[in-house]
Each structure stands twice: as C-alpha cells, then as structure tokens.
Chain A
Amino acid sequence: MKPPAFLLLILLLGLPGCAAQQPSLPELIAEAGEERGCASVFPQGRWEFVHTIEFSMADGSGATVLGVTSLAGEEIACALMTVEGFTLFEAVYREKGGLEVRRAVPPFDKPAFAAGLMDDVRTIFRAPSFATVQYGRVAGNIPTCRYTGAEGRITDILPAMDGCWQIRTYGADQALSRSVTGRSCRKEGESLIPEYLELKGFDPTNYTLKMTLIHVENII
C-alpha cells in the first residue's frame, strides 16, 4: 500500500502515465483591439489564498491537503499541509531570486516536485511572460488572449468562460500541457476570484488538482 504522498510524487515527477490523446492548439481568429479582460484573471497586489486541494491520478487514487498561496509583488509563497495541519512543503519563488524551499518533508523534498508545484502555482496565479501576444477568438466565438513565450510555450487565457475563466498552456509542440478551469468567479476589486479551480496536467502525466477556496484576502 503506497502512501498518498508517494502517489503525488509519482505524478508530479512525470513518470509515464496512460495519457489520452492530448488536444492541440486551436486556431486563433485574430482580431484587432486591446486585451479583453485577461488581466483580471491574475490578481494584482498582495493576496493570500487558502484552498483545500484534492489531487487525483487517472486511476482514481489521490489525497486531500490544505494549500496556502501568498502573492506579494514579484514573490509567490506556497505551502502544503495535511488536514491535521502538519506542514509538508513550503517554498518561496522570486522572479529574480528563483526558488527557495523552506521546508520539504520527504518525499516532497525532490527538486522536481518543488519545480512542478511552483509551475502549477504560477500558471494559476501569474500572468505568463511572453514575447508576443494576440487577441481574438477560438472555437468559434470564445474571446481569447494568446501569449507566446520566447521558448515557444503558448498560454491561452479565456477570460469569459461560463461566468469565470480558463487557462490553457501548450508546449512548443503545441500539445496541451495544462488546463485550469475557474468556476463560480466573484469580483474582488479588479480581479475575478474563482470559488473553485480545477487544474489538469496532461502528458506525460495525467493528474487533477481540485481546489476549493476556503479563504481569500487582499492584503492592503
């Protein structure tokens, strides 16, 4: 019997899974104009989020933990705790200083885990860095902002999906690597904060993080 922490490690370290055919980058019908609310997807300023996080693998196994995310300027801090409050992992990422792991209980002490977790957190909470940006519509009529990074990674922001938003990231091969679906968004200042988030990681692993908001605070 494997502990859930081990299962999480497996899925986040990228061991081969039974990935289904991944969706590929949809065609963007470009339109002239300004960004259409995509900035509101990413909270500006200092914020603190506490979520319950249910992670699961394709075979249905998984576990539930508490997650803390703190945004302050160029700094993102995050922590994972057991339901009982035991800190499993705590790290800070600075745009110019890189990743600092403050606490990592085995098996969460592998560098690949820290990097993968922070990549998920940055995908959800930070606007992508980009070399070019296009505005338009995908799949018929869905407003989209498409950011292309210098390394070829593409991020589509869909700021108006079912009353909330979606983020989809694609690798340089244009295969979908992550999707983040926000639901039950509420307006907090200029930001749209989802009550519920679902992140799916695709090939080479299939995992899902279901994040339910417990607490959010814009720290003035």
Chain B
Amino acid sequence: MKQLLLLAVFSFFVAIPAARAGVESKGVPGPQAQPVQLRSVQADFLQEKHLKILARPIISTGSFTFQAPQSLRWEYRTPIRSILLMHGGKVRKFVERDGVLAEDKGMRLDAMQVVLAEISNWLDGRFTDNAMFTVSFPKKQTILLTPKEPGLAALISSIELKLGEQAGLLDKVIIFEGPDASTSLTFSNRIINKEIPAAVFTNK
C-alpha cells in the first residue's frame, strides 16, 4: 500500500547523505561541496509535527544510525518509544505497548524493500533518478523533492532537504503534507564514518 511506503520513506529521508547532491540540478545550481565517501552516519534528531488544530507542535526526539549499504536503526525516545531496524534485507519495527517494546508485525515489508532501493540511489547521489520524486534545487544547500504521481502528491506535497555545511550530511528535513501540516526533523550530534557493530541494526 502506497501510504505504508510513504511512511517508510518518511523515516528514511533523514538517513540520506547529501553526497554528490549537485548533479543535474534544476533551477539554482545544487550544492557543490566535495562529497565524502559515506560509510556510516549517526545523529540525534528533534522532530516537530505541525497541524492546523495544534496550538503548538508535537515534539518527538530520537536518534538514527545508518551504515552503507543498507543498514538502519531509526529510534524514537519520546513521546513513544519505537525502533525501526533494517539489516541484511530484513526490516523490523518495534513500538512500545503496555510499557514494553513489541514487534509491529503489521508492516508491509515489500514496501520497505522498495524504499531500500531508493536509499541506495540517494547514497550514490542519484537524486535525479528518483522514481517517485521530481528533484530540484530551489536554493543553494536545499533539495526539493516533489511527488511525480498524483496519488502520492495527495499525501505528501513536497519534501525539503536542507544540507549542512559539511558535505554528506543533512541539517534538516521538512515533509509537507499540505498547506497546514508538516513535519520537520533537525539533526544534531552527527558522527560520520564510524564503524557500527551489526548488532545495532538487529537488536532492539
């Protein structure tokens, strides 16, 4: 189901290193920073959910760990503890229920596999070869992803990636669902190219 694919996409955007993001840009030339051969990224994030009915955004905090080619640990600490693990082609998700982390077996793993393929493209800097999104560079250090299919656009209007000064890292991601709904993720405490034990991607 497409919406589940989108949920997975949403999670994975923060793990996109911006290596070679300047290729084949539309509009303003894209970032030209010298790419870093990215093997791994670890970072904390602060997530703000904005909705028209909210007087103030919902704040979530967590961290992620990515290691090439396709290993990811995406973890929320607050307000709900949850962990998404991807490693060796397997995807698992755990969400806190009744005070303990329980596996969410309802995930559509086939959709997750599709997203993994997308991530591989981004890791190689192939932003223009994205099957789901049109890519443009409205400002320096900014990548704008716009869904190609109307069905996708009804759920996510656009995604803005703000690149950091350091090549290969994202500062911020903003997912726009519509005019009054968006989610922003701001990253901090980033560590790149540190060797990560496989257990990080397999154990909750």
Interface residues of A (CB under 8 A from B): 1-7, 48, 50, 52, 54, 56, 61-64, 66, 68, 70, 77-79, 81-88, 90, 92, 102-103, 105-106, 210, 214-215, 217, 219
Residue interface bits B1-12, CB-to-A below 8 A is 1, else 0: 101101100110
Q: Which residues of B in the span 102-135 have a Cβ within 8 Å of any Cβ on A?
A: 104-109
At the interface with chain A, which of B16-24, B26-34, B74-82? B74-82
What are 17 A-to-B residue pairs whose CB atoms are below 8 Å?
A1-B107, A5-B4, A52-B79, A54-B98, A56-B97, A63-B95, A70-B53, A79-B53, A81-B49, A83-B60, A83-B95, A84-B7, A84-B183, A85-B183, A90-B181, A103-B178, A214-B79
Q: Is the interface of A mostly helix, strand, loop or mixed?
A: strand
Whether B106 and A79, one on each chain, are in contact in the complex, defined by CB atoms closer than 8 angstroms, is no
Query: How far, in angstroms, from A125 to B108 measured CA to CA in the complex?
Result: 34
- Number of residue pairs spanning A and B whose beta carbons lie under 8 angstroms apart: 103
Is B71 interfacial (CB-CB < 8 Å)? no
Complex contacts, A81 vs chain B, CB 8 Å: 49, 58
Q: Cβ of B55 and Cβ of A219 under 8 Å apart? A: yes
Are A62 and B47 neighbours in the complex by a CB distance under 8 Å?
no
Asked if B155 is an interface residue, CB under 8 A from chain A, the answer is yes
Q: Is the CB of B106 within 8 A of A3?
A: yes
Interface class of chain B by DSSP: mixed
| Beta-carbon nearest neighbor of B151 in chain A | A106
Contact of B181 among A52, A82, A103, A106 (CB under 8 A): A103
Of residues 63 through 78 on chain B, the ones whose CB sits less than 8 Å from some CB of chain A are 76
Residue of B10, B58, B105 contacting most chain A CB atoms (<10 Å): B58
Which residues of A have CB within 8 Å of B106? Answer: 1-7, 61, 63
How distant is A36 from chain B, measured CB to nearest CB, in Å? 32
Question: How far is the CB of B58 from the nearest CB of chain A, in Å?
Answer: 6
Q: How many angstroms between the C-alpha atoms of A62 and B104 in the bound complex?
A: 9
Give chain B's interface residues, CB within 8 Å of chain A. Answer: 1, 3-4, 6-7, 10-11, 47, 49, 51-56, 58, 60, 76, 79-80, 82, 95-98, 104-109, 155, 175, 177-178, 181, 183
Specify which of B1, B51, B105 is in contact with A87 (CB 8 Å cutoff): B51
What's the least CB distance linking B106 to chain A, in Å?
4
Q: From residue B112, how far is it (CB to closest CB) to chain A in Å? A: 12
Tell me whether B104 and A63 are in contact (CB under 8 A). Answer: yes
Complex CA–CA separation, A217 to B7 (angstroms): 29
Cβ distance B83 to chain A, nearest Cβ, rounded Å: 10
Contact in complex: B80, A3 (CB < 8 Å): no
Contact between B97 and A77, CB atoms less than 8 A apart: no
Q: What is the CA–CA distance of A219 and B53 in the complex, to the nearest angstrom?
A: 12
User: Given A54-B98, A219-B55, do A3 and B1 touch, yes or no (CB 8 Å)?
Assistant: yes
Knowing A48-B55, A84-B10, A86-B183 touch, does A66 contact B80 (C-beta < 8 A)?
yes
Closest to A105 in B: B3
CB–CB B58/A52 < 8 A? no
**Nearest CB in chain B to that of A75: its residue:** B53
Cβ of B78 to closest chain A Cβ, rounded Å? 9
Instruction: Select which of A7, A86, A106, A215 is within 8 A of B7 by beta carbon.
Output: A86
